[in-house]
Chain A
Amino acid sequence: MTGAGSTYDADALGWFGGAGAFGGRFMPEALMAALDELDIAWQKAMVDPTFTAEFEDLLQNYAGVPSMLYDAKRLSEHAGARILLKREDLNHTGAHKIRNVLGQALLTKRMGKTRVIAETGAGQHGVASATAAAYLGLDCTVYMGEVDTERQALNVARMQLLGAEVIPVRSGSRTLKDAINEALRDWVASVDHTAYLFGTAAGPHPFPSLVLSFVRGIGDEARQQCLDLTGALPDAIAACVGGGSNAIGLFAGFVDDPEVAIYGFEAGGDGVETGRHAATIFAGSIGVLHGARTFVLQDDDGQTVESHSISAGLDYPGVGPQHAALAAGGRASYLPVTDAEAMDAMALLARTEGIIPAIESAHAIAGALKVAKDRPGQTLLVNLSGRGDKDMGTAMEWFHLGEAGEKK
């Protein structure tokens, strides 16, 4: 289900990398029955041709999947290596997230539940959830940290237009992690009729595996598209990692190809050395957060430390447990990219290819540019996980855009 034959599949209790290593299910007993119900429903659905056909049909005829693999020639010229972009930004709602929510929302209908809740950081998962809920006729409530509602106001408006209720979360750091806490509290009280559309490949079992099963098409498609285009596998692949759903989707297609190097780029914020960052694997330590054992940004007492990133979508102090296992096992390398490096890459892609990436995705571009220096002439496949429309406010502020006249 999560990549047949891969060393990085979860066992029956949701452990990746061996029993007790990463993953698991650290959750209130009140949610255990619902998580078991979800696990069973998902496993049955994934082997039911009716469900998988409906999912595939929705992806193709509603979401615009498979997304294209784009040969970014001008960027490649700049990088000194051949860069291929998996264009998830062209999917309906503008990011890879739509794959996950369509799968989970279909599963919700199949389970006979009528309401979905979701958490969102940048708003992309919230917009995707509101979209899927509207399409499938489900009630939708989205929890969003108050800080994020301010920096992503456009996406709040989108969700509202799609009929979702957006609840600003004012506890803790008022960002994504607190939105997850609040959504979990809602779920404890509403689990009989509500499904939690978890936004990334993190959280308690079965969410990491379940989300991967819905987004793994990114990697499977990219692998085949690369073979078709170049006649070979890429030398390296790269994606940005917050919770890690776009990355694990891409990685799944290549994890069993040892000749393909795998890079995840985390949000280095102001620089890892400043402490203001979200480089969870690179600079965090092993702990339990939001239901899974994984890498966490925490202090000596196990209290979660607030993360920082210019990208709301990467501003998360935890990471999916499969990434933790990939990092610990040495299969993938996780490195930080600063806010400034990501913003430079955003501008570079816009000006070389006419593509404005999400700031999340710009982290992957920036990271790939670094990797390219060590791999001149090689082929690097980068997941362009989302488009940058939602980030124009941040870009305007960063680059002082919006005034006519001198080129910025």
Chain B
Amino acid sequence: MTSTSTAFAKARAEGRAALVGYLPAGFPDVDGSIAALKAMVDAGCDVIEIGLPYSDPVMDGPTIQAAAQQALEAGVRTTDVLRTVEAVAATGVPTLVMTYWNPIERYGVERFAQDLADAGGAGLITPDLTPDFAPEWIAAADARDLDKVFLVAPSSTDERIALTTAASRGFVYATGIMGVTGTTQATAAGVAPLIERTKALSPNGGADLPVSVGVGVSTGAQAAALAAYADGVIVGSAFVRTLLDHPDDRAAGLAALKSLTEELAGGVRA
């Protein structure tokens, strides 16, 4: 079992969903993002996603894009992302990197996989890389027991969901809405059919592959509603927003982040 699936199994044993929290590395700066991510761990995130800031994000809405752009303008590098992973993974919480594909190709797929594993990272979430175009990553990940988190969407055909779940490891990421992050809100009624289809089309009927819902989730009440269907609830833009809202007061930003994490952690336990 990988560390990610262990975290999901633990949550399942407690009769609840797992809370997956996202922040981009290097926002507001590298040390600031490490502090923020550790605060999210302390306040109840079961799994951490660290975004690799990228110049041309397709799935990100304006909130995450603004944070990533700020990080890039401050000079964040791929090596800084790995340093952030190392610091957060040291807490014992499974830590994945969410990244668009080009920075990994540029770094070198084998080299990145090895450096990620060496940093204690659990795997990758790849919003613009689907299993049919990922043979190199799949081989590199499998060689190092890294998780491969691919996405399914409401528009996915049954055939593609089966392809995606067969290739995923750690969990499968179900996008709650047809849209980008931080825009419209996902609802349990809206996303339940996708979760059901995904479980039904997963190997072993979904027994081994948790399904987490992300994109369009920002409140404890939403987390509670979605936790009734999904194994995990993923929150990104709402966390980023708490830091963007306190640009000049880091302590206040961290306090708001802690408070939101607690609300969401309460939600997945409701």
Task: Write the residues of chain A forming the contact surface with B, with a CB cutoff of 8 angstroms.
Answer: 13, 20, 24-34, 36, 171-172, 177-178, 181, 184-185, 188-189, 191-192, 287-291, 293, 296, 298, 300-304
Chain A residue with Cβ nearest B177? A189
Q: How many residues of B contact A (CB 8 A)?
A: 45
* A27-B160 contact in complex given A13-B133, A188-B178, A298-B102, C-beta closer than 8 Å: no
Q: Are A287 and B102 in contact (CB under 8 A)?
A: yes
Chain A residue with Cβ nearest B161? A29
A25 to B101, CA, bound (A): 11
* A30-B178 contact in complex given A13-B133, A172-B55, C-beta closer than 8 Å: yes
Q: Are B133 and A289 in contact (CB under 8 A)?
A: no
A185 to B180, CA, bound (A): 6
The minimal Cβ–Cβ distance linking A149 to chain B, given in whole angstroms, is 19
Instruction: Pick from B30-38, B104-112, B206-214, B231-239 the stretch touching chain A.
Output: B104-112
Q: Which of A29, A172, A177, A192 contacts B130 (CB 8 A)?
A: A29
* A303-B55 contact in complex given A29-B150, A33-B160, A191-B178, C-beta closer than 8 Å: yes
* Sampled A-B contacts (26; CB under 8 Å): A20-B135, A26-B101, A26-B129, A28-B128, A29-B153, A29-B156, A29-B160, A30-B155, A32-B156, A34-B155, A171-B69, A172-B55, A172-B56, A172-B69, A178-B56, A188-B58, A189-B178, A189-B180, A189-B183, A192-B155, A288-B128, A301-B106, A302-B54, A302-B103, A303-B54, A303-B55
Q: Are A302 and B56 in contact (CB under 8 A)?
A: no
- Give every chain B residue within 8 A of A13 (Cβ-Cβ): 132-133
Q: Are A289 and B180 in contact (CB under 8 A)?
A: no
- CB of B9 closer than 8 Å to a CB of A: no
- Give every chain B residue within 8 A of A189 (Cβ-Cβ): 177-180, 183-184
* A29-B151 contact in complex given A13-B132, A24-B133, A184-B58, C-beta closer than 8 Å: yes
Contact with A along B172-209 (1 / 0, CB 8 A): 00010111100110000000000000000000000000
* A296-B102 contact in complex given A29-B150, A32-B130, A172-B69, C-beta closer than 8 Å: yes
Q: Are A188 and B56 in contact (CB under 8 A)?
A: no
* A300-B106 contact in complex given A27-B58, A28-B153, A29-B152, C-beta closer than 8 Å: yes
A-B complex: 9 closest residue pairs judged by Cβ atoms:
A302-B106, A30-B153, A302-B103, A189-B179, A288-B102, A302-B102, A304-B55, A303-B55, A33-B155
Q: Are B180 and A188 in contact (CB under 8 A)?
A: yes
Report the number of A-B residue pairs with Cβ-Cβ less than 8 Å: 120
Chain A residue with Cβ nearest B57? A181
Chain A residue with Cβ nearest B132? A13
- Give every chain B residue within 8 A of A184 (Cβ-Cβ): 58
Task: Write the residues of chain B forming the contact surface with A, with a CB cutoff of 8 angstroms.
Answer: 54-59, 61-62, 65, 69, 72, 77-78, 101-107, 127-130, 132-133, 135-136, 150-157, 160, 164, 175, 177-180, 183-184
- Give every chain A residue within 8 A of B130 (Cβ-Cβ): 25, 27, 29, 32
Q: Which of A24, A177, A191, A298 contacts B106 (CB 8 A)?
A: A298
- Give every chain B residue within 8 A of A30 (Cβ-Cβ): 59, 151, 153-156, 175, 178
Q: Are B55 and A185 in contact (CB under 8 A)?
A: no
- Give every chain B residue within 8 A of A290 (Cβ-Cβ): 56
The minimal Cβ–Cβ distance linking A190 to chain B, given in whole angstroms, is 8
Inter-chain pairs besides A33-B156, A185-B179, 6 sampled, C-beta below 8 Å:
A26-B128, A26-B133, A27-B130, A29-B152, A32-B160, A188-B58
Q: Are B56 and A177 in contact (CB under 8 A)?
A: yes
A36 to B130, CA, bound (A): 14
A289 to B101, CA, bound (A): 9
Q: Which of A28, A31, A36, A302 contacts B104 (CB 8 A)?
A: A302
Among B69, B133, B184, the most chain A Cβ lie within 10 Å of the Cβ of: B133
A298 to B65, CA, bound (A): 19
Chain B residue with Cβ nearest A28? B59
Q: Are B56 and A27 in contact (CB under 8 A)?
A: no
- Give every chain A residue within 8 A of B62 (Cβ-Cβ): 171
A11 to B195, CA, bound (A): 33
Q: Are A287 and B106 in contact (CB under 8 A)?
A: yes
Q: Which of B72, B101, B156 contacts A303 (CB 8 A)?
A: B72
Q: Are A301 and B155 in contact (CB under 8 A)?
A: no
Chain B residue with Cβ nearest A184? B58
Among A26, A29, A302, the most chain B Cβ lie within 10 Å of the Cβ of: A29
* A289-B151 contact in complex given A13-B132, A301-B106, C-beta closer than 8 Å: no
- Give every chain A residue within 8 A of B151 (Cβ-Cβ): 28-30
- Give every chain B residue within 8 A of A36 (Cβ-Cβ): 157
